A = this chain, B = another copy of it.
Amino acid sequence: MSDVSLKHAILGFLELEPATGYTLQLRFDGSVGSFWTATQSQIYRELHALERDRWVEVEVVPQEGKPPRKIYALTSSGRTELRRWLAEPIGPTRIRDPVLLKFVFAAELAPELLDAMLAGYERALEERRVEYRERLEAKEIFDLARSERERELWKLSIENGLAWCDAQLAWAVRARRRLARIPLKKTRKKGKKS
């Protein structure tokens, strides 16, 4: 029960206001999407688990024709659990980055291919930076905030993503420069020894 973040993220959103699984999904995509994602299957599964554990409770609002809206809200023990989780200390994340994994094994790849891959990586990072910048400007996200402090936290979380992009971009540029500098030995698979 140490970190288990998805459960607690849901509790966190429900503290802001009660919501359905569907709107929770929109929250994930729209606000914490830059550093945490969740699919609907996950959200519905976790909501059921949270209900079983009495951390949330559900109010079913029937609708004609449509499936009923199930509005989930925090219970008091859910609120307690959220606070407990928030106060828990946390160490830096072990990042898990397939880009770097591919990179370390890329020695055998043709230099032009690797360079092109890094160039593509740069382009993708730039696009993502734009996306994050737009998110910083997006009023509708910050409207939910209940205080200046909360708004600042949300901004900072997006700025973190921006800082990540910048760091990665700078790294990619440096990597390309350094790799370009290395003299290429002609590969002679079956040549004689010098």
Q: Which residues in A have some Cβ–Cβ distance to B below 8 Å?
A: 3, 5, 8-9, 12, 15, 31-32, 34-37, 82-83, 85-87, 89-109, 111, 113, 117, 120-121, 124-125, 128, 145-150, 152-154, 156-157, 159-161, 163-168, 170-171, 174-175, 178-179, 182-185
Q: Count copies of this chain in the complex.
A: 2
Nearest-Cβ distance from residue A167 to partner chain B, whole angstroms: 4
Nearest-Cβ distance from residue A79 to partner chain B, whole angstroms: 9
Determine the main DSSP class of A at the interface with B. helix
Q: Is the CB of B100 within 8 A of A160?
A: yes
* Interfacial chain B residues near A97, Cβ < 8 Å: 35-36, 93, 95, 160
Nearest-Cβ distance from residue A164 to partner chain B, whole angstroms: 6
User: Interface centre among A96, A100, A117, A165, by most B CB within 10 Å?
Assistant: A100
Known A5-B101, A92-B125, A113-B87; judge A152-B106 contact (CB<8 A): no
Q: Is the CB of B104 within 8 A of A93?
A: no
- Name the residue of chain B whose CB is nearest to the CB of A181: B152
Q: Is the CB of A159 within 8 A of B171?
A: yes
CA distance in complex: A176, B120 (Å): 35
Q: Is the CB of A124 within 8 A of B91?
A: yes
Nearest-Cβ distance from residue A129 to partner chain B, whole angstroms: 10
Known A147-B185, A149-B182; judge A98-B90 contact (CB<8 A): yes
User: Interface centre among A108, A145, A178, A179, by most B CB within 10 Å?
Assistant: A108
- Name the residue of chain B whose CB is nearest to the CB of A166: B167
* Interfacial chain B residues near A168, Cβ < 8 Å: 92, 160, 163
Q: Is the CB of B153 within 8 A of A163?
A: no
* Interfacial chain B residues near A166, Cβ < 8 Å: 167
